[in-house]
């Protein structure tokens, strides 16, 4: 063996040595079948496990809220058995009598009160969401008085930020320790937490509903979609959220894996600037609405992982409307533009007073499908003689809020994060709403929103939400394009589990493995 062969052999030896140690590590990590365990990978990481500022504790089954959403996104009791109000100001919640925190302390109304107070103190925007004036605890009964009639309170108590934790445990352990190991009532408790990296949980044997099926679970965080997909394919992970569409066919071919594509609570849509002289004409907006090819967006851009939209909320939700999805119709769009005073010139462009209809659409890359929707609209609009220029910005919210010279924008919102439509109406359509960047002000709609805000009867709320959605559609305040699906890849060894639209309840006590 000469010198160079010795060097090469040496390098090979080092490589083998490194690979050797790692093999042992991986096999103990994922191949052991002694305990029932799963590994999940989420796309958003967590720097701590404070349930009042992050969603991971509820997703990891560590904490629970007073109320929750069922499979159909209806609100149901969770830690609260029942609730009642006569005037939408004074609320009575009956807390379950059979629940204990993970450290053994019994859950009562006083503990819930303390926890809610902490959540309002810790979370910047929770106070104005909950509108709580005062709370009184008596045994298992919690009385809440709101600052104004507030029928949306139950919906706001579904919010994971209102998770119930044992404040006494925080006092004992200290703030920082508690943020890494919150004591809740969920089916799992923290075993080890590595900030921004992973949380390992073990089952809470004394869980109030029933003993969890899994012994332990590991939730990792990785922001790179390709790495997540590869981890699922290598069986390093059992459940992976937000897969990149290019990996779907490869995953679909693997017999051990399945892809779940469930309708989410988000809507991608076109936002119109009410201050733009060109799109302030409802006829122009109607024309643009007809130029939006929703089917093509769902099939070609979302690759089938989305449903064409007919309003702000997914039709599968109780308060979603079941009107027909608008078909793209270039001829009809042209007729509408003619009614708005535009004429087709010699170049085939629609023009009014000698100037062609040229619009600017703002888009951003944070959601990769949005620029594609803008391109599709641009292409279809050109067939109707409308020239749309695309401008891509980095931060759409700020650009739209700080500039008045845009005409339309691609946008995306979680329109019903908590089983209720009022959140979206209040933030995207009222004058003071933070997401109302198009400065929409429809007096008739405002009245309906006010009425909705003051109504507690669920059926009436549903009817009002539908009424508001139809008014928005009639005035074409927004053009709803598609409801994107949540794409989750999972190993078929997972039993009794399906991803849900709200993405809150991921690690549950019923989740099992083969």
Partner 1 sequence: MFLIIRRRLIQLIFVLLVLSLFTFTLMKLAPGDPVLTILNADEMVVTEEDQAKLRNKLGFDQPLYVQYGKWMLNLVQLDLGKSYMNGKPVWDELMERLPITFELTMFAILIMGSLTIPLGILSARKVNRWPDQLSRILALIGASIPSFWLGLILIYVFAFKLQVLPSSGIGSYSQIILPAFTLGFTFAVVYARLLRAGLLQSMSEDYILAGRARGIKEWRLLWLHAFRAALLPVITVFGLSIGSFLGGAVVIEILFSWPGLGSLAVDAIFSRDYPIIQGYVLLTGVFVVIVNLFVDLSYFVIDPGIKRKEGTL
For binding to partner 1 (CB under 8 A), which residues are involved? Answer: 4, 7, 11, 14, 18-19, 21-23, 25-26, 29, 45, 47-48, 53, 124-126, 128-129, 159, 194-198, 220-224, 226-227, 230-231, 233-236, 393-395, 397-399, 402, 413-414, 417, 422-423, 426-427, 432-435
In the complex, what is the shortest distance from the CB of residue 180 to partner 1, in angstroms, rounded to a whole number?
Answer: 12
> Tokens 């990996």 sit at which residue?
247
Residue closer to partner 1 by CB (options 126, 142) is 126
Residue closer to partner 1 by CB (options 82, 194) is 194
Supply angle C-alpha 101, 104, 105, rounded to 5. 70
Task: Provide CB contacts within 8 A for 243, sequence distance 6+.
Answer: 225, 228, 229, 232, 251, 259, 487, 488, 489
Residue closer to partner 1 by CB (options 157, 384) is 157
In the complex, what is the shortest distance from the CB of residue 37 to partner 1, in angstroms, rounded to a whole number?
Answer: 16
270 bridge partner residues: 410, 479
CA dist., res. 49 & res. 179, Å (int): 5
Q: Cα torsion at 168, 169, 170, 173 (round to 10°)? A: 130
- Residue 24 tokens read as 């042992």
137 bridge partner residues: 142
Residue closer to partner 1 by CB (options 236, 260) is 236
Residue closer to partner 1 by CB (options 134, 234) is 234
> Tokens 């809470």 sit at which residue?
204
DSSP 28: I
> Tokens 């149901």 sit at which residue?
76
In the complex, what is the shortest distance from the CB of residue 236 to partner 1, in angstroms, rounded to a whole number?
Answer: 6
In the complex, what is the shortest distance from the CB of residue 235 to partner 1, in angstroms, rounded to a whole number?
Answer: 8
Residue closer to partner 1 by CB (options 81, 236) is 236
**Helix or strand holding residue 133 (H, E):** strand 132-138
In the complex, what is the shortest distance from the CB of residue 17 to partner 1, in angstroms, rounded to a whole number?
Answer: 10
In the complex, what is the shortest distance from the CB of residue 224 to partner 1, in angstroms, rounded to a whole number?
Answer: 5
In the complex, what is the shortest distance from the CB of residue 80 to partner 1, in angstroms, rounded to a whole number?
Answer: 21
In the complex, what is the shortest distance from the CB of residue 208 to partner 1, in angstroms, rounded to a whole number?
Answer: 27
In the complex, what is the shortest distance from the CB of residue 300 to partner 1, in angstroms, rounded to a whole number?
Answer: 26
C-beta separation of 345 from 334 below 8 A: no
- Residue 50 tokens read as 């404070």
Residue closer to partner 1 by CB (options 268, 326) is 268
Residue closer to partner 1 by CB (options 192, 206) is 192
Give the three-class secondary structure for 173: helix
Task: Provide CB contacts within 8 A for 350, sequence distance 6+.
Answer: 334, 337, 342, 343, 344, 356, 357, 384, 385, 386
In the complex, what is the shortest distance from the CB of residue 417 to partner 1, in angstroms, rounded to a whole number?
Answer: 5
In the complex, what is the shortest distance from the CB of residue 324 to partner 1, in angstroms, rounded to a whole number?
Answer: 29
Q: If you write DSSP's letter for every residue of 377-410 in order, what string do you get?
A: HHHHHHHTT-EEEEEE-S-HHHHHHH-S---EEE
- Residue 506 tokens read as 């991921």
Supply angle C-alpha 170, 174, 179, rounded to 5. 70
Residue closer to partner 1 by CB (options 140, 233) is 233
CA dist., res. 283 & res. 247, Å (int): 42
Residue closer to partner 1 by CB (options 100, 399) is 399
- Residue 314 tokens read as 């997914």
Cβ neighbours of 394 (radius 10 Å): 9
C-beta separation of 95 from 107 below 8 A: yes
In the complex, what is the shortest distance from the CB of residue 187 to partner 1, in angstroms, rounded to a whole number?
Answer: 24
Residue closer to partner 1 by CB (options 249, 398) is 398
What does R_g of the chain's alpha carbons equal in angstroms? 26
Residue closer to partner 1 by CB (options 200, 479) is 200
Buried b (16+ CB within 10 A) or exposed e, 165-176: bbbebbeebeee
């Amino acid at each position: 063996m000469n010198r160079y062969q010795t060097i090469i052999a040496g390098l090979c030896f080092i490589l083998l040595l490194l690979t050797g140690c790692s093999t042992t590590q991986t096999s103990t990590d994922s191949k052991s079948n002694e305990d029932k365990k799963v590994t999940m990978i989420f796309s958003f990481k967590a720097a701590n496990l404070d349930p009042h500022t992050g969603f991971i504790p509820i997703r990891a089954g560590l904490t629970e809220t007073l109320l929750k959403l069922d499979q159909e996104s209806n609100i149901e009791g969770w830690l609260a058995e029942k609730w009642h109000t006569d005037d939408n100001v004074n609320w009575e919640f009956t807390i379950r009598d059979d629940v204990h925190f993970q450290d053994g302390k019994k859950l009562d109304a006083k503990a819930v009160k303390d926890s809610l107070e902490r959540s309002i103190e810790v979370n910047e925007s929770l106070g104005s969401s909950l509108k709580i004036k005062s709370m009184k605890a008596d045994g298992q009964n919690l009385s809440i008085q709101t600052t104004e009639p507030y029928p949306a309170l139950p919906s706001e108590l579904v919010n994971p930020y209102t998770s119930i934790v044992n404040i006494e445990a925080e006092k004992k352990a200290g703030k920082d320790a508690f943020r890494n190991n919150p004591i809740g009532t969920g089916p799992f408790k923290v075993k080890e937490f590595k900030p921004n990296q992973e949380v390992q949980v073990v089952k809470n044997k004394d869980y109030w509903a029933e003993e969890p099926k899994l012994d332990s679970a590991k939730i990792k965080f990785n922001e790179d979609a390709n790495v997540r997909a590869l981890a699922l394919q290598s069986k390093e992970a059992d459940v992976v959220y937000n897969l990149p569409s290019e990996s779907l066919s490869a995953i679909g071919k693997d017999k051990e894996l399945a892809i779940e594509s469930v309708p989410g609570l988000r809507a991608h849509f076109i936002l119109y600037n009410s201050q733009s002289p060109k799109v302030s004409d409802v006829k122009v907006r109607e024309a643009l609405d007809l130029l939006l090819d929703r089917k093509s967006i769902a099939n070609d851009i979302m690759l089938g992982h989305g449903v064409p939209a007919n309003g702000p909320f997914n039709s599968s939700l109780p308060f979603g409307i079941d009107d027909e999805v608008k078909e793209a119709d270039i001829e009809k769009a042209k007729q509408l533009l003619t009614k708005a005073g535009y004429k087709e010139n010699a170049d085939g462009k629609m023009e009014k007073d000698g100037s062609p209809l040229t619009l600017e659409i703002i888009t951003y890359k944070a959601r990769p499908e949005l620029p594609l929707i803008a391109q599709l609209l641009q292409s279809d609009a050109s067939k109707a003689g409308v020239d749309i220029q695309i401008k891509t910005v980095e931060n759409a919210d700020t650009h739209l809020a700080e500039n008045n010279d845009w005409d339309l924008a691609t946008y995306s919102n979680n329109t019903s994060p908590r089983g209720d439509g009022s959140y979206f109406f209040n933030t995207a359509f009222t004058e003071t709403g933070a997401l109302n960047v198009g400065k929409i002000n429809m007096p008739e709609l405002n009245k309906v929103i006010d009425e909705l805000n003051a109504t507690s009867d669920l059926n009436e709320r549903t009817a009002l939400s539908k009424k508001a959605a139809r008014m928005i559609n009639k005035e074409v305040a927004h053009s709803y394009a598609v409801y994107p699906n949540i794409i989750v890849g999972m190993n078929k060894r997972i039993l009794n589990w399906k991803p849900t639209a709200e993405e809150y309840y991921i690690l549950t006590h019923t989740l099992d493995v083969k």
